[in-house]
Amino acid sequence: MRVGCVLMQKNEVNALEPWLLYHAHLFGMENLCVIDHGSTHPRVLNTLSWYEAEGLNVVRLPAEANYQRKGEFVTEQLNRLDETGDYDLLLPIDCDEFLALRREDGRFTCNRGEILACLGQYLGRPETLEIKQNLLNLLGHPGRFWVFPYQKVFFSAGHVGVVDHGSHTDVSGRGNGLLETSLVYLHFHHKSWDEQVKAGKEKLRPFVDVDDPEALAAFRGPGWHLLVHINAGEAAYQDLMKGGPGLSEADGLLELFAELNIDPLFFQRPVPEVNAI
């Protein structure tokens, strides 16, 4: 079984290398495709070049490429991989999403063998395959997560649809049905407050005037969920990071991070300025 993953990113300084190492462990570096949307940060550029030499597929878009067409760019690469005939499953994944599994007992794991066995159940399925849960990270609590509903899709070979901007749904209108899977995403969405605000505004900039508080408050376009924390403010954000009853873990995650040399707190590290590298 061969699984292909497509990621579109720009200047994901802290997350890119951990994402690559984790998913290369699952599927092989040669089966990962990164669409780079005009990254400028030297660390990101060096990471792409380094792992490209190790088999990573890199598609470089110019900085002026329209970010609002993200769904089109990702769909194009999914189809390109599908047309090779080499892949059994194709997953569009964001840079803060790490694939994992919900076991029958409700516990979560990042065990490679179990994830691959689960994926094997969906070979040849014509339906749009769904991922319905995400585990949101907590700052200062490596390996601990809040569990929330989610909505992402992926496809079996020969049945690739058309993904929307965030790969949440298949917008092809082909009427092939939906199939919920047992896969989940470990979602390293939360960064330090300053980085959270900076990253959120950068992703929203193509859609709304991020310097206009009224425009931000009224915005409901692509990526509007990024405003939840910004609008609530830093105090509410820090309260969310205190944890509490109901937190979950993914079995073996911290051990795997150590094996792969991934910093378990990569998501909250300060992003180095270009002149500091």
Tokens of 245: 């009853």
Mean pLDDT of the chain: 93
**CB neighbours (10 Å) of residue 202?**
14
Long-range contacts of 161-165 (CB under 8 A, 24+ apart): 161/75, 161/128, 162/71, 162/75, 163/71, 163/74, 163/75, 163/78, 163/92, 164/71, 165/68, 165/70, 165/71, 165/222, 165/223
Same domain (yes/no): 125, 199: no
How many structural domains is the chain composed of?
2
pLDDT at position 230 is 76
pLDDT at position 5 is 99
Domain holding 199, by residue range, is 193-240
Kindly tell me if the per-residue pLDDT of 124 is higher than 60.
Answer: yes
Kindly tell me if the per-residue pLDDT of 275 is higher than 70.
Answer: no
Please state the rounded mean pLDDT for residues 13-29: 99
Beta partners for 262? none
Same domain (yes/no): 186, 200: no
pLDDT at position 6 is 99
Same domain (yes/no): 33, 103: yes
Same domain (yes/no): 210, 182: no
The model's pTM:
0.92
Same domain (yes/no): 234, 120: no
Kindly tell me if the per-residue pLDDT of 256 is higher than 90.
Answer: yes
Same domain (yes/no): 76, 204: no
Same domain (yes/no): 41, 55: yes
Confirm if 171 and 164 have CB atoms less than 8 A apart.
yes
Same domain (yes/no): 114, 53: yes
Confidence of residue 130 (pLDDT cuts 50, 70, 90): very high
Same domain (yes/no): 96, 224: no
Same domain (yes/no): 31, 89: yes
Residues 6+ apart with CB under 8 A from 260: 21, 22, 25
CATH code for position 19: 3.90.550
Same domain (yes/no): 131, 209: no
Same domain (yes/no): 231, 177: no
